[in-house]
Amino acid sequence: MFERREDIRYFLSRLALQVRAGRIEVHAYSIMQTHYHLLLRSPGGFLSEAMRRIQNSYVRRFNRIRRRDGSLARGRFYSRMVDSDEYLHALVRYIDGNAVRAGLAAEPSGYEFGSARHYLSRLRPPWLRVDWVLGQARALTGGTLDDVSAYCRAYDAGKAEQAAALVEVVESRMASMQREGEPDPLFQAALGGDHSWMSWKARLADGISLGVPVCGIGTLRRVLSANTHQSGVWMVEDNRRTWKGVEIAFVGWARRLCGHSEQQIALLLECSKDRIRYLNQVHLRLMRTDENYASRAMEVGRAAVTAAWSRPELKECGTPAAE
């Protein structure tokens, strides 16, 4: 989608034009070669109009310079509502990490076409709205640091496993068919160990909207593996049958915490949808009737949510990037 530096610069100029027109605010961005990520707000509800103008203008120039015609993108831009401060914080970290994951820079501040560079250099384009992102950074770091240091510490991607868990939950949410996320209190309840939240999630039956994912399937697998290694093999009884607790918990939480359908879980485990439905019902029964199972399953669930949403330890900053 972007073949030259001039292409990206022109795209950003169209973005800035829509900011000046009052249709959108830009809080974070990363422009890659094949796609882009934008964290936008449209106070007047003009997001679609702004994006239509940006993309149409860009494609016309792209085609004119290369003497081609037709569409450039596969379809309409893809957007998701951002409904909590927790998710906003995760998205800034996710957007900043795109260039690093693609091998285009060693650090977010080293990538020319990402907003992290501007936040960490203090030389910021007037169309980049920095108040919310920096306000949250200062709040997270105690409000005693300058903008650059606060941003560096607050939006660090963390260790490799933390960064992978973050990418997984954000991309799972973007792919989810559900349109509403979990309110902040539910995140805090899960991270704080509130059993009522986990029990509520466990008792949702198929056919009821489960909401968007709060952790990724890979994160859930890693947590289950670590739990088995730490606490030993997990066997449970249900209807005179003995089951592997890890298998039952995987199905139950893949459904409720990862937002997977029965069909998706069946494909993952290479078994029938009927088996997944049955294992799902076993999970529900055990959550209601087996205190030992419920306790360990909720321990796993909390650990999976925490892995996806906890922030890295605040680190000391290096030298800010130069413009």
The pLDDT value recorded for residue 184 is: 46
The pLDDT value recorded for residue 242 is: 94
Measured CA to CA in angstroms, residue 279 lies from 28, 214, 261 at distances of 42, 21, 13
Is pLDDT above 50 for 322? no
Amino acid identity, position 189: A
Span 154-200, pLDDT tens digits: 888 778 888 888 899 888 888 876 655 544 454 555 556 566 666 65
pLDDT, the chain, mean = 85
pTM above 0.85, yes or no: no
The pLDDT value recorded for residue 40 is: 95
- Of the listed ranges 131-140, 174-183, 252-261, 277-286, the least confidently predicted one is 174-183
Query: What are 235's strand-pairing partners?
Result: 244
Q: Per the structure block, which two tokens stand in for 21?
A: 């027109």
Beta strands in 90-231 (DSSP E): none
Return the number of other C-beta atoms located less than 10 Å from residue 166's C-beta.
Answer: 25
- Of the listed ranges 3-17, 22-36, 175-189, 213-227, the least confidently predicted one is 175-189
Span 51-82, pLDDT tens digits: 999 999 999 999 999 888 888 877 778 888 88
* Dihedral sign computed on CA atoms, order 155, 161, 164, 169: negative
Residues sharing a CB contact under 8 Å with residue 233, sequence separation 6 or more, in sequence order: 244
Euclidean distance between CA atoms 240 and 30, whole angstroms: 55
Average pLDDT over residues 220-233: 93
Beta strands in the chain (DSSP E): 25-31, 36-41, 235-238, 241-244
Span 90-100, pLDDT tens digits: 899 999 999 99
Span 108-158, pLDDT tens digits: 989 999 999 999 887 899 999 999 999 888 888 887 778 888 888 888 877
